Amino acid sequence: MDKQTWINNLMATMYLESTKSVDEASMAAKARALATCIRIAFHDRRIRTHRAYEKGKIACYMSLEYLIGKSLKTHLQALGPAEEALVRELVPELYGVEVEDLFRFEPDAGLGNGGLGRLAACFMDAAATKGVPLRGYGLRYEKGMFAQKIEDGFQVEVGDEWLKDGDMWGRRHDDEMVPVHFKDFTLKAIPYDYIVPGYETNNVNRLRLWRAEAMNDFDFQKFNNFDYLGAVSERALAENITRVLYPNDARREGQLLRFMQQYFFAQATLRDLLRQGDLKSMTPADRLNALAIQLNDTHPVIAIPEGIRILMDELGFSFEEALQIAEHVFNYTNHTILQEAMEKWPVAIVEDVCPDTLAVIYRLNDHYARLMRERGLDESAVRKMAIVDKGTIYMAHLGIHVASKVNGVAELHTRILKERELKNFSDLYPDKFMNVTNGVTPRRFLMAANPLLSEAIDDWIGSGWRTDFSELAKLKDLADDEAVIDRFKSIKRQNKVRLAERIEEAFGVLVNPDSIYDIQIKRIHEYKRQLMYGFYIHHLYKEIKADPTRARTPRTCIFGGKSAPGYHRAKGIIKYITELARVINNDPDVGDQLKVVFIENYDVSWAELLVSAADVSEQISTVGKEASGTGNMKFMMNGTVTLGTMDGANIEIFEEAGAENNYVFGSSVEEMEASGYDPVVRCGEDPLAKEAVDSLTDGLLDDGGSFKFLDLRDALMDNKSGPNDEYYILYDLRNYIATQNRIEEDFRDEKSWYRKSFWNMACASKFTADRSIMTYANMIWNVQEQVVR
Ligand X SMILES: *Cc1c(COP(=O)(O)O)cnc(C)c1O
Indicate which residue of 523, 529, 538, 575 is catalytic.
Answer: 523
Indicate which residue of 74, 269, 298, 630 is catalytic.
Answer: 630
Question: Least distance to ligand X from the beta carbon of 136, Å?
Answer: 17
Question: Least distance to ligand X from the beta carbon of 192, Å?
Answer: 22
Of the candidates 550, 567, 552, the one whose C-alpha atom is nearest the C-alpha of residue 715 is 567
Backbone angles phi, psi at 378, to 5 degrees: -80, 170
What is the maximum span of the chain, computed from C-alpha positions, in angstroms? 82
d(CA 696, CA 713): 6
Indicate which residue of 211, 634, 756, 766 is catalytic.
Answer: 634
By C-beta, is 121 or 209 nearer to ligand X? Answer: 121
Q: Is the dihedral of CA 413, 416, 419, 425 positive or negative?
A: negative
d(CA 759, CA 181): 55
Contact of 612 with 449, CB cutoff 8 Å: yes
Q: Annotated catalytic, 522?
A: yes
d(CA 71, CA 78): 10
d(CA 494, CA 504): 15
By C-beta, is 91 or 611 nearer to ligand X? Answer: 611
Q: Annotated catalytic, 489?
A: no
d(CA 641, CA 616): 5
- Can you give the binding site for ligand X, defined by CB under 6 A? 67, 114-115, 118, 522-523, 602-604, 607, 629-631, 634
Question: Least distance to ligand X from the beta carbon of 115, Å?
Answer: 4
Backbone angles phi, psi at 111, to 5 degrees: -90, 50
Burial 221-259 (b: 16+ CB within 10 A, else e): ebeeeeeeeebbebbeebbebbbbbbbeeeeeeebbbbb
**What is the number of the residue whose Cβ is closest to ligand X?**
631
By C-beta, is 147 or 212 nearer to ligand X? Answer: 147
By C-beta, is 377 or 604 nearer to ligand X? Answer: 604
Question: Least distance to ligand X from the beta carbon of 636, Å?
Answer: 12
Contact of 303 with 330, CB cutoff 8 Å: yes
Of the candidates 543, 522, 523, 520, the one whose C-alpha atom is nearest the C-alpha of residue 532 is 520
Question: Least distance to ligand X from the beta carbon of 112, Å?
Answer: 8
Side-chain-facing half-sphere of 323: CA atoms under 13 Å: 14
Residue 533: DSSP 8-state: H
Contact of 499 with 452, CB cutoff 8 Å: no
Question: Least distance to ligand X from the beta carbon of 449, Å?
Answer: 10
Q: Annotated catalytic, 335?
A: yes
By C-beta, is 731 or 767 nearer to ligand X? Answer: 767
Q: Annotated catalytic, 164?
A: no
Q: Where are the alpha helices (DSSP H) in 346-481?
A: 347-353, 355-374, 379-384, 395-402, 411-416, 423-428, 442, 451-461
d(CA 340, CA 336): 10
What is the DSSP secondary-structure string of 247-298?
---SSHHHHHHHHHHHHHHHHHHHHHHHTTS-GGGS-HHHHHTSEEEEEESS
Question: Least distance to ligand X from the beta carbon of 446, Å?
Answer: 13
By C-beta, is 328 or 634 nearer to ligand X? Answer: 634
By C-beta, is 401 or 523 nearer to ligand X? Answer: 523
Contact of 240 with 255, CB cutoff 8 Å: no
Q: Annotated catalytic, 523?
A: yes
Question: Least distance to ligand X from the beta carbon of 603, Å?
Answer: 5
Helix (H, G, I), strand (E, B) or coil at 408: strand
By C-beta, is 416 or 607 nearer to ligand X? Answer: 607
Question: Least distance to ligand X from the beta carbon of 369, Å?
Answer: 37
Sheet architecture: strand order including 344-346: 344-346, 392-394, 388-389
Q: End-to-end CA distance of the chain: give it in Å, rounded.
A: 15
Question: Least distance to ligand X from the beta carbon of 144, Å?
Answer: 12
By C-beta, is 404 or 617 nearer to ligand X? Answer: 617
Q: Annotated catalytic, 775?
A: no
By C-beta, is 107 or 114 nearer to ligand X? Answer: 114
Q: Which amino acid, residue 304?
A: I
Indicate which residue of 118, 335, 443, 555 is catalytic.
Answer: 335
Which residues are designated catalytic?
335, 522-523, 528, 630, 634
